Every structure is written in structure tokens, then in C-alpha cells.
Chain A
Amino acid sequence: MNNCFRTKLTLTTRLTILVFVCCLFAWWQTAQAQSFNFNPVSYKLKNGLQVIVVEDPSLPVVTSVLAYGVGSVNDPEGKEGLAYLMQNLMFQGSENIGPLQHLNYIQNVGGELNAATTFDKTFFYETVPSNQLGLVLWLESDRMHFLQVSEATLAREKENLIRKENERYLQEPFSRYFFLIDQILYPDSRYGHPLTGSAQSLRSLTLDDVQKYYRRYYVPNNAVLCLCGDLKLARVRELVSRYFETIPSGEEPGPYPTPEFIPSLSARDQVMVDPLVSSPALQFGVRLENLKPEDLMVLGLMEQVLIQGPTSRLMTRLIKKERLAVFMSGGLEERGPFQSLKIFLLANNQIMAERAKKALAEELNRLKTEMVPDREFLKAKNNYKFNYLNQLTGNNLSRALALADLYLKEGRLPDINRELNRLEKLTPYSILALARRQLREEKYCFLTILPRY
């Protein structure tokens, strides 16, 4: 009996100690997160709407991001541009809000708003004085379930988009090559088509297409609502419940369409002549695939070493030392399970563009053959860390967008300390190993664009 009691006591004590340690760890984690002004709370409504709340009382403002898990990848074949068109139609009025009144309501209280469509997500966001949270939720809930689109509105918006795209091409003739490199990198219409579609695909869209698309994807169970700023959780729960609880959930939208990439080697080194461009340019892209979750941070560091900031390798060599380019930009871009590394540069003449192409390939290959020196690696880590923390703690909008994006992608909230610990453990070898696995010369795509002299 005594023994048994002793054993029991020991177990209880052990359990108590374990619970205590766990609590202490959880408290430490929370304290760390709070020391970064970052304490997200999340919950789900019965209709599937995921709500994330971050309280930050430093200024009386609140940002709302309502993100839907739908983007250009969901455009049906032949109907490219539907996701982007839908984003624009969301401002054209709903049952209780007149056309373009959404903008007026927000502006009248001093607020700001915008929207964005990506490959797989669509974001609608507003920042308003914190006492106007109810207004934002009223507006967003109305267009989530009661959007009204007429034939006339649809026709006008389609023509607007087509006109804007034509203007953009005339003003920025290189813009079409950004889409062209995507088509080469992702030779699958769902993955590689332009976000804005084409005049033909936009004109083919019918009211029925729009309504079906809206009913399928603009549903609470395909959305994340992230609210950051000077707010109280209890009030948020009350208002969110009031405006969103009665909106019925829709069918589960399902996973991404699986791409079929047919390799097209002939397209990988093209030269094009364009009478609208004024100087030679080079577009580079490489698709990165079979990525593991832990690769993403290493890729971020590789991007820092290669192209981000004035002291990165490509900036130093191509712009400053060898003066092969007069302008350069680029970086990583995510497309579902894939990433691509894209670089765009302008050169003074064709010879410089050719040399820049060679130098670019050499720098990529150097990542596979040489270990990044410690100081350079530390620089990349510091910049990565700054960007990461600035995004999550900088301002309400960047924070809300990052949280909604991550939740739609991975169904979780960020763990700052875990991420920073992971970052600390990475070494220059991490970059070398990943570069060897991913940067394969046969996958490089180059597009040289020459003016007509």
C-alpha cells in the first residue's frame, strides 16, 4: 500500500513537475512573443470562417484582411483572368451597398483600403480608426454573401481591365515578358497564364461564370479574416459573430489543380525583338520544385546572397563592378508547391546583355561549388531576420497580410521563436546543399529582348 502510494505520489509529482515545466515553457514562449508585440489568437466559426486576432493598442487603428483561398490557379481553361476580374467586381456593390460605395464608406471615416490577387489567394483589406471595426465587418460580410453583379457591370469591368492592360503594355512594354517567362517556366495554362488573362479570355467570361465562381470560392469556409490593432477580443467575437455567423458555408473548394509541366527545351533560350522597347533586356527564370518545408528559409537566405540589397552578389558584379546592367531586380516567387527565382535586367547594348547572361549563370553555379563565406552568410541571416520581424511586428497591415497568407497556406499561426531558432541553426552548407539540388543549368530559362535599331 505504502509502496503503491509512494509510486502514485511519485507519478503525481512527476506529472505535476511536467505540467509545471510545460506551463513555464508556454509562459516563456508567450512572454517572448509578447515581447515582440505579437500575440495572435485564432478561432473558427461554425461556417468554417477562420478568424485571427492580434491586439495591439499602440494607436487607435485597426486593420482587417479578408483573404480567400482562390487565385489565378483557379481560373478555368479559356477563362483566364476570372480571379482578377472577380476581385474588381467585389467593389461594384452588394445587396446593401451601392456600386463603389465600399470605397466611400471607408474613405469617409479616414480609412484606406485595397485588394490584391495572387496565384492562389485574393486579399481584401482596410485600415480604419478602431471604432469603425463594425463598419468594415458590415461591408466585408455583405460582399461575401450578397454580391450583386449585373450584365452591364460585368461588361464594363471587362472592358476596363482590357483597356488598362493595353495601356500598361504601351507604358511598360517589358510587362508582357514577365508573363512570357511565366509561361516558359510553367508550361501549364493553370500555372503559367497571366493573372489578368487576355482580351479574348476576359471577353468570353459570362455572368454565369462569375456567379458560379463566386458561389464556389467566396464562401466562409474558404476564407481567413485577420484583424489586427486596437481591439478587444470579446468585442471582435461579438461583431464577427453578428456579421458572419449566419452566412452559410459552401462546398469545400478542393485542392489546387495538379499541373502537368511538359518540358520545352527550345523555349529556354530565346531572343526576341520588340519595337516598343528602348534598350536590351534579359529575363531569367528557374523553377524550383520538390521543395521541403524547411527549404523555404534556406531559399530566402540564398535570395539574400544573390540578389537582395546593394551588396548582394549579382548587384555587386553586374551593376557595380562589371557594369553589365544599368538596372536589375528580382527574387523568389511562390506558386503553390513551387518557387521560381526570377531576375530582370536592363543593359546598355546587346553585347552587355550577353555578358550579363553569362555572369548570371556563373554566379548561380558558384552557389553550388563554393561555400558562402561566414560574413556574407551572417549578412544574409541578419537581413532575413529583419524582414521577417518587420513583417510580423512592423505595422498592422503587413502583419495581417502575413498571418492570413500563412494560415491559408499552412493552416497555422507563425511561431516567431521557433522560426528564429531554426534560422540560427542554418549554416552556409544549407545553401550549398540546396543550390546543388535545385539550381540545375538545364532548367535555366533566358529571354533576351532587343529593341529594333
Chain B
Amino acid sequence: MNRFSYIRTRRLAAGLLLFGLLIPGLLAQEKFRRTPPYPDPLPALVLPAVNSEYLGNGLRVVTISRANNPVFNLMVLIQVGESDSPPELAGLATVTAQVLPRGTATVSPGEVEERLALLGIEYSVEVQADYTIFSFIFLAENLEPALELISLFFVEPAFPALELSAVKREYYYQLLRRHQDPETAGYNFFLKRIFSGSGYNPGVLDEELIKNISARDAAQFHQRYMRPNNSTIIFNGQITLAEASRQAAQNFRRWVPRPVERKTVSRLNNRDFDQVCLLDIPGNEAAIITGNLTGSISSPDYFPLLVLNHIMGGTTGSRLFINLREIKGLAFYAFSDLSFFRENGLFWVRAKTAPPAIPETIAGINSIMRSLAEERIEPEELERAKAYLMGNLPLQLQSPENLSQRIGLLDLFQLPPDFWSRYLQNIMPVNSELVREVARKYLAARPLVIIVADASRALDYLKDFDKIDVYNRKGQFQAVFQKGVLRYENR
């Protein structure tokens, strides 16, 4: 071997060695890309400190301490809602709440609007069946003048005639539009049917009845139900309880307490509905709403129900969506949901499809519900649902308004103060048996089925149903469809 070839051989060997050392290194480096990484340990969910006390007039003051945030959320939560409106004036709670921030006894509507804008206050009003929420968001530096203005809405509302008319007009057109949307119309009709005969209005409004509401009705409703002793004011930001109470007392002391008597709500049981309704609304597509009653949010079934709902139809990865849309191509979408009211809860499925696919879509939904009640859920599916619920809660609490609302509603739904901070611990022990147990309890009976479609297009495809009650878009009974024959009846 001459010197050159020796050197060459050594270089080659060195090169090969380097190559040999580097390649496995590179391959090892890329190996981590092949599979998802293991998560870091699950962090504890520590919510901001919550403190509360009552003022002399019964107003509950709650503070949620969030340090170092220039944006402040102030929320007034009143335990009154649409279920408290008289049946002949459905919508009274909504209209009253919407008019409150539109002028007071001492500040004209225009000036209120100007002052809200001057202080950079954004607000929203939400009226549900059981509660009303006024949420204000603004810069923390404006807290004092903001509170001074906001308190007037509750202490000395004026219900100006022009503003009341404007609110009624806005709602009238909004409701007309909403009732043309098949899914919204279907859900409202579903709620009405589920609670029919119970004397409880789950928050369904009627555009025709809204027209009849007068300023006097609104003023009386405010006098009777919107009192400090059934209200909570939540200060969410950098403030102490003592300071919040001082400011609340200073501004809300003129808000006079009165005994508030709300109608009692009876607990309704999950039952066999054996009813299919067709709501006749023009359109090319059909919506299906189906569901039944469950226990309330405070019942021990709540956490297994959450898991069950997620497996059934909580997201695009759940059974309804995968089965009905991705695999069978029957529906444009299919999801399930849970809604909770005082004393009651319900699960409901919503799907959108084409009229020819209505029977198969309903059969598909029923089959998924049956399998959940009868078959064992695979551990992987169960754990995935739990991981979603546990991981998603902190995301839901990110917005100050959401956090305030969840804290504020604990009292109304008779939930313990640590309900949200113990949420993860309560989801963790939910097992396959518990889920199947609630599935048997709530999914086994025949659910109420609402089909929303253009009757002239859809009925041809619905001949195989035993009987369908047909209603017009206002929810008035029209006819019975049986064995392919439409028979008009007076009820």
C-alpha cells in the first residue's frame, strides 16, 4: 500500500465513520416526527379567587380577582327570565331587560348612549328561561363612572316609549327571521312540545305577542322581579371585595328590595313520546330535532351525561357526525347537545339533511342512541371523550364574561361553589358503566321527533312513518299524515 492510498483509505474510513455516526443521528432526530409526543403532566386548574358578600338591600356582590388586567368585566345577573313572563305576554322579560339600558329617570336615552360610548363600555343583554344577564366590559380605569351609570339602569329605569317601540320592532323582525331558519324554528317547537302542559316557558318568544307589551307591563315586571335581593353583581378584574362592596353599596343603595315570588317549576321525567311532528317551513333542506328530558345540572347524572353527549354528537369526531355524514353521507351535519333549566335538563340531536334522506337519518340517529344504551363503550372512545371535556373547560373560561357567568349561575342552579374547580376530578371517575347507565335512563324511551321541512316536498318520503302530526310555521296543528294520506283535522 503506497502512502497516498493509505491516506485515501484512512480518509475514506474516517468519512464512513462520520457518515455512520451522523446518519443514525439524523434518523433518530426524525424519528420523533413519526408519532405525536406524550403530553406534559396535566396542569391543575386553579381558578381566580372568588369572594362574595351581601349588601343591606340583599344584592349579592361577587369578586373574581384577576390581577394586572386593564380590561374589567362587570356583570349583573338577575334570577328572572322568560319563564316568568305571563303566557299572554311571552317576551316581556326580554323586552324589559333590553329597554333597561336605554334611558333612565335622570339620563335621557341619547345621553346614556353617549356616556356608554364616552367611557368605552361594550355591553350585552342575554335573557334565558331562568335568568337575565347584563354584561359590561370596559377599561378598569373607568370603573367608577361606569358603575355610576350602570347602576341607574336598575335603580331608576324609565322605559321611554320610543325606545320600547324600537326594541319591540327589532325583536319582531329578528323573530320573523329566526322562525324562517329551520333549525331554530325546530328547536323552539321542540322546547314547546317537551314542556307543554307544565306551565313552564323554556324561553320561546312569539313575535305577535311582543307587539302587545306596554311600558307599564315592563315597569311592573321590573318592580316585581328585578330586585336586588334576587340579583348578583360580579366584579371581574383587579379589585378587592371590600372595595367592590363599597362601590356597589354607594351606587345601588337606592335599589329597593321586595319579596320575589317565582312560579315553582315541576321536575319532568324522561318519557316515551311516540310522536313525530312535521313543521311545515318552505325551503330545500330539512332539519331534524329529536330528544328527551334528562336530570338537571345538579343531579349526579350530569358528568356521565356530558361524556355520553360527547360520544354521541359533541363534535365532528363524535358518532353522529362520523356515521351520518362521513360514512353514510346522509346528513350535512349531525350533532347532539345538552340544555339545562331550573330543575330540568334535556338532550337533543340536530341534523340537517335533504328531504329524501329524512327517514334514514332519523333511523341512523335512533340506531346510535340504541347502541349507546345497549352496548359497551370502548375504553379508547370513553377516554377520548373525557380528555376532550377536561381539556376544553379551561378554554371556555378564558373570556372574562364566560368566567363571570359560570360563577354567577352556580347559585341559581344550586351548585357548590367549587363546581368548576372540581370539574376535572368529577369527569375522571366516569366509566363505561356509568355512561351506559345514563344512556339506558335517558336514551331508551322513544324521543320526541320534529322534522322541519317543506311539507309539499317532504311528505312523499315519509310514508313509512305510522303517523305524523303536521303543523304550520306558526306551530299550529294542521293535519295528520298517515299511510300516505294527509287528513286535515280541527283540534
Contact = CB atoms under 8 A, between A and B. Distances in A.
Contact of A110 (B37, B119, B395): B395
Contacts of A310: 113, 117
A104 B317 contact: yes
Interface in B44-89: 44-45, 48, 66-71
Interface residues of A, number: 54
Interface stretch (A274-282, A383-391, A421-429): A383-391
A133 interface: yes
Interface stretch (B202-210, B339-347, B381-389, B473-481): B381-389
B117 A107 contact: no
Contacts of A389: 70-71, 139
B300 interface: no
B456 interface: no
Contacts of A130: 40, 43
A448 to B, nearest CB: 24
A37 B37 contact: no
Contacts of A390: 71, 137
Nearest to A130: B43
B128 to A, nearest CB: 24
Interface stretch (A73-81, A178-186, A349-357, A392-400): A392-400
Contacts of A107: 315-317, 388
A311 B39 contact: no
Contact of B39 (A37, A131, A385): A131
A60 B34 CA distance: 27
A382 B43 contact: no
B114 interface: yes
Nearest to B40: A131
A187 interface: no
Interface string A97-115: 0000001110111111000
Contacts of B389: 110
A327 to B, nearest CB: 11
A427 B75 CA distance: 34
A112 B316 CA distance: 12
A135 B33 CA distance: 10
A95 interface: yes
B417 interface: no
Contacts of B37: 134-135, 138
A156 interface: no
Given A108-B388, A110-B388, A394 B40 contact: no
A59 B70 contact: no
B249 to A, nearest CB: 27
A385 B391 contact: no
A96 B34 contact: yes
B24 interface: no
Interface residues on B, range: 35 or more
Contacts of A383: 117, 120
Interface in B313-358: 315-317
> A146, A310, A311 — which one has the most chain B CB atoms within 10 A of its CB?
A311
A105 B316 contact: no
A382 B66 contact: no
B317 A379 contact: no
A239 B33 CA distance: 12
A108 B114 contact: no
B354 to A, nearest CB: 14
Contacts of B387: 108-110
A95 B69 CA distance: 42
Contact of B70 (A36, A235, A396): A36
Contact of B118 (A103, A110, A132, A379): A379
A44 B48 CA distance: 34
Contact of A96 (B33, B48, B399): B33
A108 B317 contact: yes
B33 A382 contact: no
Nearest to A386: B120
Given A104-B317, A386-B120, A134 B39 contact: yes
B32 interface: yes
Contacts of B40: 130-134, 235
A111 B33 contact: no
Nearest to B318: A107
A36 B39 CA distance: 30
B197 interface: no
Contacts of A138: 32-33, 36-37
B139 A132 contact: no
Contact of B48 (A58, A131, A146): A58
Contacts of A379: 114, 117-118, 120
B115 to A, nearest CB: 10
A385 B120 contact: yes
Contact of A131 (B43, B114, B117): B43
> B41, B113, B384, B395 — which one has the most chain A CB atoms within 10 A of its CB?
B395
A379 B37 CA distance: 50
B48 to A, nearest CB: 7
Nearest to A397: B398
A397 to B, nearest CB: 8
Interface of A: 34-37, 58-61, 95-96, 103-105, 107-112, 127-135, 138-139, 141-142, 146, 230, 235, 242-243, 246, 309-311, 375, 378-379, 382-383, 385-386, 389-390, 393-396
Interface of B: 29-30, 32-45, 48, 66-71, 113-114, 117-120, 122, 137-139, 142, 315-317, 384, 387-395, 397-399
7 A-B pairs closest in CB distance: A110-B391, A110-B392, A60-B43, A134-B37, A386-B120, A131-B40, A382-B120
16 contacts: A36-B70, A37-B67, A96-B35, A107-B315, A107-B316, A108-B384, A108-B387, A110-B389, A131-B40, A133-B40, A134-B39, A135-B37, A138-B37, A139-B36, A141-B33, A310-B113
